Amino acid sequence: MDHQTLIILTEPLFQPALLQAALSQNGADGLNVEPVDTLDALIAALDQSAGPVRLAAFCSGIIVPPGILSRIDAGAYNFHPGPPEYPGLFPSCFAIYEDAETFGATAHLMTDKIDKGEIVGVEHFAMQKDSDRMTLDKMALECVLQLYHRLLPHLVKLDAPITPSGEVWLGRPRSTKDFKALCELPDDVTADEFDKRYRAVGEGPNHALTITLFGQRFKLDNSRTTEDVVRGGLPTT
């Protein structure tokens, strides 16, 4: 039997738990599980592989180029916050702003286009009333973990692709341009509109609201000290 490798692309914070869970699966005997956190480390793992390779990207912001994806012969799967209703960047921000009733996580085949690959798993949960982005991202991270554990028995079996779930992407993928527009307050912003955008993107420094007044652009510079900030599903202090 060829030497099989499952590469897990994720931040170091998540690597021990994801690695242990994969190795403890039935059918993982003889499977090499290699955690990486950079594109260079992913390329090095591919160079060292001597048989079929599968990739699982978990809450990773790294874009894997098409030339690298073509080397992954047992399928590359992306696990990330955000349900199929919110493809693209910053799904939690747009879900809050649009008063979505549910949110969740998606697992899908990776392709050369963001959030276009065939979906293999989805988890949903009800959004709390007046959720802010930090709260929603924490809940979404737990949801991604649930989805990873649910699909793990299939993920470690490299001899067969994961069966598509039948769910499809809905709506237009959101871009950096869309996010910047959400962050730019109109000069006649109402209190209700400010509150909604603040809950969606308000905390700084990387997701701060801006407003242009009298030819000058002002940026909200605030911080919260009562709870951890979560960026891309990753808690930081």
**pLDDT-based confidence at 103, cuts 50/70/90?**
very high
CA dihedral sign of residues 14, 15, 21, 26 = positive
What's the mean pLDDT when you consider all of the chain? 88
Cβ neighbour number for residue 29 with a 10 Å cutoff: 8
- Strands annotated E in 12-158: 32-36, 53-58, 76-81, 102-109, 119-126
Enter the tokens of residue 4: 């099989």
Nearest to residue 4, comparing CAs of 159, 149, 153? Answer: 159
Compute the average pLDDT of residues 35-42: 96
| Least-confidence region, from 69-83, 133-147, 197-211 | 197-211
Would you state the pLDDT for residue 205? 60
Residues of the chain above pLDDT 70, percent: 90
Would you state the pLDDT for residue 132? 86
**pLDDT-based confidence at 193, cuts 50/70/90?**
very high
pLDDT digits (tens, 9 = 90+) for 106-139: 999 999 988 999 999 999 999 988 888 888 999 9
Enter the tokens of residue 208: 């701060």
- The DSSP 8-state label assigned to residue 164 in this structure reads P
Backbone angles phi, psi at 174, to 5 degrees: -80, 145
pLDDT digits (tens, 9 = 90+) for 172-181: 899 999 999 9
Q: Would you say 106 and 120 are in contact if contact means Cβ atoms under 8 Å apart?
A: no
CATH 3.40.50.12230 residue ranges in the chain?
5-155
Compute the average pLDDT of residues 67-79: 95
* 5-155 carries CATH number 1.10.357.10: no
Q: Would you say 111 and 117 are in contact if contact means Cβ atoms under 8 Å apart?
A: yes
**pLDDT-based confidence at 224, cuts 50/70/90?**
low
Would you state the pLDDT for residue 212? 85
**pLDDT-based confidence at 225, cuts 50/70/90?**
low
| pLDDT greater than 90 at residue 216 | no
Would you state the pLDDT for residue 129? 85
H or E element that contains 227: none
| pLDDT greater than 80 at residue 10 | yes
SS3 202: coil
